[in-house]
Chain A
Amino acid sequence: MADLRQALRVLLKAPGFSILIVAVLALGIGANTAIFSIVNGVLLKPLPFAHADRLVAVQTTVKNEPDDTSYLDFQDWRAQAKSFDALAVYTTAAITMTGVGDAQSLPIAIVTPDLLPSLGATPTIGRVFSQDDDKKGATRTTILASSLWASRFGSDPNIVGRSITLDGDPFTVIGVMPAAFEFPFDAEDPPQMWLPVNASRFASQWASQRNASFLKGIGVLKPGVARGTAEAELATIESHIKDRTGSHSVLVRPLQDALVKDYRLGLLVLLGAVGAVLLIACANVANLLLARGSVRRREIAVRVALGASRGRIARQLLVESVALATIGGIAGAMLSLWTIDLLVRFSPLQVPRLHNVHLDGAALAFAALVSIATGVLSGLVPAFQLSKARSGDALKDGERAGSNARGARTRQTLVVAEVAISLVLLTAAGLLVRSLVALQHVSPGFATERAVAMQLLLPQSRYTNGDAMRAFATRLHDEARTLPGVTAAAISTTLPMSGSDIGLGYTVEGQPADPSVRLSAAYFAISADYFSTLGIPLIKGRAFTDRDNNAAPNVLIINQAMAAKHWPNANPIGKRVTIGYNDTGPREIVGVVGDVKQGDLAEKSVPQMYGTFAQTPWPFVTAVVRTTNAPESAAASLRTMLARIDPQQAAGEIKTLDQYVSRSIATPRFTALLVGAFATLALLLAALGLFSVMAYSVAQRRREIGIRMALGAQPTDVRALVLRQALTMGVVGLAIGLAGAFAATQILDSLLFGITAHDPATFTSVCGVLLTVMLLAAYLPARRATRVDPIIALRTE
């Protein structure tokens, strides 16, 4: 306690110094607490479900590539598998709710009845689905999310039993889930209600087709059953399913791993980066404490002369550093409150459970632990160094007490370590940023400027056949073209990079099908002016015309990737392909168009097929307009137009094509931005470290500099002397850092696009930046050194 009291008194005596250290630590601890909160919330925290340790994701694989599962496959699993307490499947979709205020498109989850019980979820009011609810022809039922119940039904306690209209069909509300319940997490918008598979017209039409893979599976393993056993059992069941192409198998993974798979590496890289920042902060604080310790050598010598043991002195110094770190930790925790909010707001939306992340007990415990560890780590070196003081030396040493060579070496070593760690971080950031820039320069294959798209899902209760869908799409197209400011308009089922796509199997006439390979391509049913509206170039043949209607022979346009795949040395025009939809026989290829990116900018071009909407009408309709108006105004006109065409049809997502592209690089952008921010922080801290060491060194070397000037040294000589010392530290740090960066950046390989993890340009430019910053940090002390007045410097003797 006495130590603590004295420590606080010492800290208060040099408030500027204390504030600087607290600020450095607050930055380090705050950033670490924020990133830890996210890593904990997303990766580490058990899923908020019963039997979280036995919950697994069950995923079909075709030729070892992950795929969705068909409803019929799931039925076979469920009937035959013995390894599971429960098995369930789900998918996400959107549905239009009418009759409760304005028509509204709502994100929903379509589930089998076992899903909610297998997660241990029970409704706040009402009940979960029974197997009967999922039978064809049963009364359609739904369970509401708490937020929807509150926002659209005023938390009506009598909601259970009430009938609501979804996609034109009456549904009976049977329950409301608790506010904390959310599943699935990997949807961009949390589901607002849950429906049984067969209650959804969209899902039930696919449910009877063996090859319609649209569901994701989860299961609860029986206690004691290994994942491998379950996987083997399901693989055996899959292998017995007949009449289909492609070698199917099953992958069983812990559900948590499956959910965070895509984000795990990025988050761990962030945690590593922010941990490195903390190490640099520690080195910095140790350096500042050492520098200050030199000033206090006389005080410590007096204590030793009065009988203090080495341990006692070290303890006193450690108490001081831990006290500083604790204050820094409290400031850091407060800083992290704000940082977490900022990170969550700007992070890619799809990261599961991210929006539930907040500063919780675990994060506070982490902050406390890190604070103490930081205090001990940054105080250890100074405590060890300074407690070695012998009273006689320091008391006799007068003004030159601080010019202790060992202390100087320790400080220089710490700066070298800071430079080395900064280089590793800067290189990682450099690689991620260059990769991002490379990504941003990838053309999506279509023009994104001033284009706005509105997605719709037509309810099959009202749009019961192709004619109805065709009529709707035609009117939508015609009216969209006449909207104010619109220069071009087109219709498609989905748009590339929109997050929704339709994959269809196909066979090529004259090319025998390999039963082990399932041919599949992205399919777009489009209006005739789609290519010109999106700026997709026609490479061969012709584009569609209005004459390619449902009365004309079925035609197909393919992309270059598909042409190269099947006719690498031949002209595909005139060849015939049968697609796995509306089996109306083979379609003739009439054109080849440029490739467009399907999912994201990083992926290779995949086969794509285009048919006319008139010949293959779908309930998915997207209207895309190129407009001279602002996107908000274009979106408003699209909504008004839709309300005019069909007041019961809610608009789905309305976004610009630029937003599609931007969304597809949200994750690499977020990672690059954060690692970049941490690397900048690391660089600044290392620069501060070098600056403080050089400033201290110049102060200590005033006499030497004075002598040199008295012996004829010019200001340039003195400046060079100081800069050379800084440069030496920089270069040694650089050499160590380069070795570290070379090893560390390998783990980034899978996050990079267009460059290798050892990209020489990045390594070179990062070294250049680091050396420049180090020289800048040393320049001020160097300039100060040239102002040493030899007479005054020599007189201080």
Chain B
Amino acid sequence: MLVSLRNVEKSYPHGVGRTYVLRRLNVDIKEGEFVSIMGPSGAGKSTLLHILGMHDSAWSGEYYFMDQPVHRLNPKQRSELHKKHIGFVFQSYHLLDNLTVYENLEIPLSYRNVSRKDRQSMVADILDRFSIVGKKDLYPNQLSGGQQQLVGVARAVIANPQVILADEPTGNLHSAQGKEIMELFRSLNEAGTTIVQVTHSEVNASYGTRIIQLRDGWVVDD
């Protein structure tokens, strides 16, 4: 099992009580799955994604990632696990404004102590794979939204993660651009990468193999 959540809960103190964002979540995700997390605003979709991505550590319950007990790991160990196996794609792309496309792609590698030479070949490879070689010296503000998200996905996969977590990856794109990105996810999934996406779109969800419905923090359908 790639991901296994057991009784995962997240809440905030609110007045005298607590506000629950996620309630007693039990979710298993196998390697190679393409999962879409859906639900209305405030259902806890993004929160779940950030817990899976190990950005969020303030929750209770048990989380096993590739049989490793994430709930027992210290921040450094979590970060190592995340760096090794997870790629993240954001709705607003979150490219670094003052870095070129090339430099943006290089960043995750630099945090993984990849040597300069290897970085060069890996970035060249990904630029080629995503057909964005011609854009490598441009800054994010010189790209269209679709192109920016393409770079965002390229950045997420450059370190060869087992799983890509995508938070509404097409939310800021028009439909043609969105389709292009979803096709990209499909081909990555077919090549063996597990995809977990948060989406409002039924069309996008149809690219996947499984839908998890969340409402008020509860899994209401799987």
Binding site for B on A (CB under 8 A): 403, 405, 703-704, 706-714, 717, 790-791, 794, 797
Contacts and interface: CB of A to CB of B under 8 A. Distances in A.
12 contacts: A703-B94, A704-B97, A704-B98, A707-B90, A710-B55, A712-B79, A712-B108, A712-B111, A712-B112, A713-B111, A794-B90, A794-B94
A710 B55 CA distance: 7
B99 to A, nearest CB: 9
Given A711-B155, A717-B111, A790 B79 contact: no
Contact of A797 (B79, B92, B108, B111): B92
Given A714-B79, A797-B92, A791 B111 contact: no
Most A CB contacts (10 A, CB to CB) among B55, B56, B76, B83 go to: B55
Interface string B14-45: 00000000000000000000000000000000
B55 A708 contact: no
Given A711-B108, A712-B83, A791 B96 contact: no
B185 interface: no
B76 A708 contact: no
A714 B107 contact: no
A707 B108 CA distance: 10
A709 B107 CA distance: 11
Contacts of A794: 90, 92, 94
A712 B82 contact: yes
A708 B107 CA distance: 8
B217 interface: no
A709 B76 CA distance: 12
Interface string B65-97: 000000000001001001100001010101111
Most B CB contacts (10 A, CB to CB) among A712, A713, A714, A791 go to: A712
Nearest to B92: A797
B136 interface: no
Contacts of A712: 79, 82-83, 108, 111-112
A796 to B, nearest CB: 11
B186 interface: no
Nearest to B156: A711
Contact of B111 (A703, A706, A714): A714
Interface of B: 50, 53, 55-56, 76, 79, 82-83, 88, 90, 92, 94-98, 107-108, 111-112, 155
A707 B90 CA distance: 9
Nearest to B108: A711
A710 B79 contact: no
A791 B55 contact: yes
Contacts of B95: 707
A704 B96 CA distance: 6
Nearest to A703: B94
Nearest to A705: B96
A398 to B, nearest CB: 12
A704 B155 CA distance: 15
Contact of B96 (A707, A717, A797): A707
A790 B55 contact: yes
A671 B94 CA distance: 55
Nearest to A714: B79
Contacts of A706: 94
Nearest to A797: B92
A709 B53 CA distance: 12
B94 A707 contact: yes
B98 to A, nearest CB: 7
The 7 closest A-B pairs by CB, nearest first: A712-B111, A712-B83, A707-B94, A711-B108, A797-B92, A790-B55, A713-B111
Contacts of A708: 96, 107, 111
B155 A710 contact: no
A405 B53 contact: no
Contacts of B82: 712
Contact of A405 (B98, B111, B155): B98
Contacts of B76: 714
Most B CB contacts (10 A, CB to CB) among A405, A704, A706, A794 go to: A794
Given A708-B107, A712-B82, 12 more contacts: A403-B97, A704-B96, A707-B94, A708-B96, A710-B53, A710-B90, A711-B88, A711-B155, A714-B76, A790-B55, A791-B56, A797-B94
Nearest to A711: B108
A704 B55 CA distance: 15
B111 A711 contact: yes
Contacts of B55: 709-710, 790-791
A701 to B, nearest CB: 9
Contacts of A797: 92, 94
A703 B92 CA distance: 11
A710 B94 contact: yes
Contacts of B94: 703, 706-707, 710, 794, 797
Contacts of B112: 712
A790 B55 CA distance: 7
Contacts of A791: 50, 55-56
A710 B108 CA distance: 9
Contacts of B88: 710-711
B43 to A, nearest CB: 16
A709 B55 CA distance: 8
Contacts of B98: 405, 704
Nearest to A713: B111
B152 to A, nearest CB: 10
Nearest to B76: A714
Contacts of A403: 97
Contacts of B97: 403, 704
A162 B169 CA distance: 107
Nearest to B96: A704
Contacts of B50: 791
Nearest to A405: B98
A706 B90 CA distance: 12
A403 B82 CA distance: 30
Contacts of A790: 55
A713 B80 CA distance: 10
Contacts of A703: 94
Most B CB contacts (10 A, CB to CB) among A710, A713, A714, A717 go to: A710
A725 to B, nearest CB: 12
Most B CB contacts (10 A, CB to CB) among A703, A711, A791 go to: A711
A794 B97 CA distance: 14
A706 B55 CA distance: 10
Contacts of A707: 90, 94-96
B213 to A, nearest CB: 23
A783 to B, nearest CB: 15
Contacts of A713: 111
A593 to B, nearest CB: 72
B107 A711 contact: yes
A701 B65 CA distance: 31
A714 B53 CA distance: 15
Nearest to B165: A710
B101 to A, nearest CB: 15
A5 B33 CA distance: 66
Contacts of B111: 708, 711-714, 717
A790 B58 CA distance: 13
Nearest to B75: A715
Nearest to B84: A712
A710 B165 CA distance: 11
A382 to B, nearest CB: 23
A797 B171 CA distance: 13
B90 to A, nearest CB: 7
Contacts of B107: 708, 711
